[in-house]
Amino acid sequence: GESVGLHLPTLSVQEGDNSIINCAYSNSASDYFIWYKQESGKGPQFIIDIRSNMDKRQGQRVTVLLNKTVKHLSLQIAATQPGDSAVYFCAETPRGFNKFYFGSGTKLNVKP
């Protein structure tokens, strides 16, 4: 809906395929990272998080990878379902701060 950017990059996948959403961050002091999912008309919903002392974390159907060398974060969704269609944001914050910086978002479109 209107809660997301007009020119968001869009990833279109077929139902059942795996999805990979990428995010680049610029602050080398960022210590904690979160992926959020935002559906139309709703607030962002927590998906998975990772701290800077890890490079991979797995949840249910989701995996987050962190590459601190190139300041890159990715979200992998296995067996993507139509209900996964939404805008996905990465968010980062430096250690000791509760001030998150959000990426511009990626729109995931799952085709049945």
- Write the interaction track for another protein spanning residues 32-61; mark x where CB under 8 A is met and - where it is not: x-x-x----xxxxxx--x-x----------
Structure tokens given for 69: 């060398």
What contacts 64, CB < 8 A, 6 or more positions away?
A: 33, 35, 48, 49, 50, 56, 57, 58, 73, 74, 75, 76
Per CB under 8 A, does 31 bind another protein? yes
| N residues, the chain | 112
**Which of 66, 80, 84, 103 forms a contact with another protein (CB under 8 A)?**
103
Nearer to another protein, 15 or 22 (CB): 22
Structure tokens given for 107: 């729109």
**What residues make contact with another protein under the rule CB under 8 A?**
2-6, 31-32, 34, 36, 41-46, 49, 51, 89, 91, 93-105
